[in-house]
Amino acid sequence: LQTRLQAGQGYGNTLNCVLTVYRNESVAGFFKGMSFPLASIAVYSSVVFGVFSNTQRFLSQLRHGDPSHTPALSDVALASMVAGFVSVGIGTPVDLVKIRLQMQTQPYIEANVKLKPTVPGFPVYRGPIHCFRTVLQKEGIAGIYRGVGAMLLRDVPGYCLYFIPYTLFCGWITPDGCISPNPSSVWLAGGVAGAISWGTATPMDVVKSRLQADGVYLNKYKGTFDCILQSYQNEGLKVFFRGITVNAVRGFPMSSAMFLGYELSLTAMKRDQTETNP
C-alpha cells in the first residue's frame, strides 16, 4: 500500500488503495515483492543493530575506557547515523527490487501519453532474481542503487529518530533499580520509536519510492532533487506526506517486534556468557 500510494496513480486515500488493489489483483496483490525483503531482513536487521551496538561500545571505550559504560545521548545519535549510513548499502537494492515488482502492473501516465502495463500473466519481471538481473544488465550498478541519495536522506536522520526515542522512552518507563528494561517497556518504547521514525521519514520515503519505481517503463526523474521539484510542481506539498498513515501504523508493531527480539537476544547472550565464564 505504501508504495502504491507514494508512486502510483489514481489512489485517493488508503482505503481506496486497498479496495483498488483487491479488486484488480485479489489478495495476492498485497504480497507482491515480499520474497526478496523476507529473505534479506535477517541480514539487514543484524547489520543495522550490530553496527549500532558496536559503534556505541566503541565510543564508550574511547570516551570512558569501558565498552559497557552507558552511552551519552550524543553517542547514541552518532551510532544511529553510522547504522543508517551502512544500512543503505544493503537496503537500496532490496527496496528497488521490491518496488519494481510492486509497481510493474501500474499504468504510467504522463501528459497525454499512457503506457499500459504488460498483459496480465506476462509482467516485466518474472520474480526478484529476474528483476535484479534485468536491472543490472540494463542499468548497471547505478540502476541497482537508484534512489540511494534519497535513501541516505531518509535513513541517516531516520535512524536517529528511531534509536534516540527508543533509548529515551526505555529510560522513562523502566522502573528505578532495574538493570535492563522489561519486555513490556521494550515493546512500547520500540513501537513508539518506530511510529515516530517512519512518520517523519515519509517525505524522503516518497521521493525514494518514486525514484526506484521510475524505470519500469521509462525514466522520468534525473535524480533526487529533480524528483522533489517535479513532484512539488505537479502535486504540491501534500505529495510528500502520501502514505504517512500506513508508515506510522506499520512502524509500531514492526519496531516493537524488532526491538523486543534485539533486547531478548542480548539478554540471552549475556546470560550464556555469564554461565560460561562465572
pLDDT mean over 29-40: 67
Alpha-carbon distance of 139 to 258, in angstroms, equals 34
pLDDT mean over 127-133: 88
Q: Is the pLDDT of residue 90 over 80?
A: yes
Tell me the backbone φ, ψ of residue 182, rounded to 5 degrees: -80, 165
> Per residue in 43-61, pLDDT tens?
888 899 999 999 999 999 9
What is the pTM assigned to this prediction? Answer: 0.81
Name residue 147's beta-bridge partners: none
Is residue 264 helix, strand or coil? helix
Say which residue the cell 504517512 belongs to. 244
Assigned C-alpha cell, 26:
485479489
Name residue 244's beta-bridge partners: none
| Cβ-based neighbour number of residue 172 at 10 Å | 9
Alpha-carbon distance of 227 to 232, in angstroms, equals 8
Q: Is the pLDDT of residue 35 over 50?
A: yes
pLDDT mean over 27-51: 77
Alpha-carbon distance of 147 to 89, in angstroms, equals 11
Q: What is the mean pLDDT of the chain?
A: 82
Strands 108-110 and 113-115: antiparallel
Alpha-carbon distance of 273 to 246, in angstroms, equals 40
User: Measured over all CA atoms, what is the biggest interatomic distance in the chain, rounded to whole angstroms?
Assistant: 74
CATH numbers and ranges of domains, the chain = 33-145 (no CATH), 147-277 (1.50.40.10)
> Per residue in 260-275, pLDDT tens?
988 888 788 777 655 5
